[in-house]
Structures are given as C-alpha cells and as structure tokens.
Amino acid sequence: MRPFDEPRAELDDTSILVTGGTGSFGNAFIKAVIREFRPSRLIVFSRDELKQSEMQSDPLFCKEPSLRFFLGDVRDVNRLESAMRDVDFVIHAAALKQVPAAEYNPFECIHTNVLGAQNIVQAAIRAKVKRVVALSTDKATNPINLYGASKLAADKIFVAGNNMAGSVGVRFSVVRYGNVLGSRGSVVQIFRNMLANGIREMPITDERMTRFWITLEQGVSLVLSSLALMRGGEIFVPKIPSTKLTTLVKAMDAKAFHKVVGIRPGEKVHEVLISEDDARSTVDLGDRYIVQPTYPQWEKTRMITDIGTPVPEGFNYSSNKNAEVIDARTLRTLLQSANV
C-alpha cells in the first residue's frame, strides 16, 4: 500500500490547526508535519485535557517549539474563531465516529458532526483561513446510519462553504476514505484485545462483509497531497484495497476463527466510497478519484482535466467490487508495519 506523496503541500513557515488533534489521525498528522516541515505554529485543538497533557509529555512533542495546545470543542464557534486567528490551514479531524454510539445518542452526533462542520466553515471564513481539509468516511456514501448521514451532511457543508466564502478566498475540500488500520476503537483494536485475552473466536456480523482499508500513514500523506492539489469543493477518494472481514480474522491470528452474530443496526454488508450518482462528476487521477462539485460556479480546471479522466458510465467504487483485494498474508504484513 503506497503513500500518496505527490503533490506535496509546503507547510514551512505556516500556521496549521488540527481539530481532533489528540486522536489517532491527528496525532499521526502532527508527527508527520514535525518530521517533514518547519511550521511557525502547529495547533492541537481538542476537548480532552488528559490526552493533551499526555501528548505534551511525549518525547516526540515536548521540545517542539511550534506546538500549541488549545482546549476547545468544535461545537463552540467562538472558541474556534479564537483558535483560527492568523491560521493558514485547518485539518478537521474531530468527530463522533462510533456507529452504535451515534444511533443511541443522535443529538450528540448531530451537534458535533453537523453543527461542528458549520462552525468550522463559519470560523474559517471569519478568520480568513486559506484552506480547510475535512476528513470524511465511506459511510457517508448512501448512508444507512446516523453517523454516515451526519458525515454526508458535513461533506455537503464543506463543499458549499466555497460558495459561502465569496471574495474572502477560503477554500474547503474533503478527503473520504475507509477503515483505518490502527485507529482507536476500530474492529482491528477490538479483535486485538480479544486475542490478548486468549479469545480466538471473533464475532463477524456477516460472512460476506467487506471493508476498505487504509493505514494512518497513507491517510496523512493523502491529506497532505490533497491540501496541495485542492482548488475548493473536491472530495478526494484514494484507491485503497479491500478485504472480507473473515480475511482480517485470519490475518490477525492464523488459529483464530469466526462466529456469525448477525448484522447490527446501521451496519452495511459492503461499503461504498463513490456511488453511481457521484460517478457522473468523478475523474480518475491514477492514485485517487476526485468527486467534483456540481454547483454551477465550479469550473473543471485544466489541472484536473489534464491529469485525470472521467470514470465510465455506471461506475461505482465499492468494497465488494474493488479491483484491489488483499489476502490474509498481505494484510498481516500491513498490520505489523502499522504496529497493530
């Protein structure tokens, strides 16, 4: 699984804010920026003071002069505006992501994922930020659960944010991908904890179930390259492999086996990153797709039409029809390289 290295955003002497900066992606993104660039300010924005304290004491971060730690919630637009003052780039990774929790706590999900997205757009426009990249999910395509629906609404808000910005010049784009190997609360972590406790019978909701996979490293490199490539309004979708969940079980432990427990509320058998309806405005760039916005003001720039080609009629990008499928051995290698 290759990283998405080209093009690369130039972040030296810039000010960057990462919402959800103490989460799995935020932590990995901040490490990558510190390793590769010399930003003037690198702002960790999150609501968990304990995680911020732990991050500040980490040897990788404690001596980094550019780091700033802002306690705050994306539900608070005034706090966001304060944090975005003189910021060049915003990476929006904060979200409520657990499907069952969102189903049981719908108001909380909407306040963070939807109204939080609105607050990001409003604060970025008022602070005159240059570019905003928001993280999305495969569950936002043809959603059947509240988490997916909330992220679809957020995607629409960010795409429309380019209209709202007017002459201010802020540009908003979205990066949409599948399950992240090694992220907190993922099925990989759940299975790993069960194995650590001597449990080798893994619960699978459906033997046919397939999922897209991406590593944290890939997710970070995709965001960095999309930040450089974006013109505002695009949804960037990486080309990534997929597997059956039964393959994941064998990848984690050759002696493990599965039991079928039935589909949970709001769960799909297969995930979709690009639907047939989205395909009408999608171009193929080789290592990723771009779903272009359909509002009248959008101009299909030479940059995109020169390096990309429209996908064929009837195209869709789903985990069960993916041309790139990896076996248990390859997935095991990826898990080891991701330290999960």
**What is the largest distance, in Å, between two alpha-carbon atoms of the chain?**
60
- Give the three-class secondary structure for 321: coil
Helices and strands, counts by H and E, the chain = 13, 17
Angle between helices 146-165 and 116-127 (to 10 degrees): 20
State yes or no: is 51 an active-site residue: no
Q: Give me 65's structure tokens.
A: 């002069």
DSSP string, 145-187: SHHHHHHHHHHHHHHHHHHHHGGG--EEEEEEE-EEET-TT-H
Report the distance separating Cα 91 and Cα 132, nearest Å: 6
User: Residue 274 pairs with which residues in a beta bridge?
Assistant: 317
259 burial via Cβ count (<10 Å: 0-12, 13-18, 19+): exposed
Structure tokens at 19: 């919402």
Q: Copy the structure tokens of residue 190.
A: 């759940």
What type of residue is 115?
Answer: L
Dihedral sign from CA coordinates of 12, 136, 209, 203: positive
* Residue in 63, 97, 128, 139 annotated catalytic: 139
CA atoms within 13 A on the CB side of 15: 12
Q: In angstroms, rounded to a whole number, what is the distance separating the alpha carbons of residues 330 and 311?
A: 28
Rounded CA-CA distance 137/256 in Å is 29
C-beta neighbour count of 303 within 10 angstroms: 10
CA distances 200 to 47, 179, 205, 252, 255, Å, are: 36, 22, 16, 10, 7
Give the whole-angstrom CA distance, residue 155 versus residue 104. Answer: 22
Catalytic residue IDs = 139
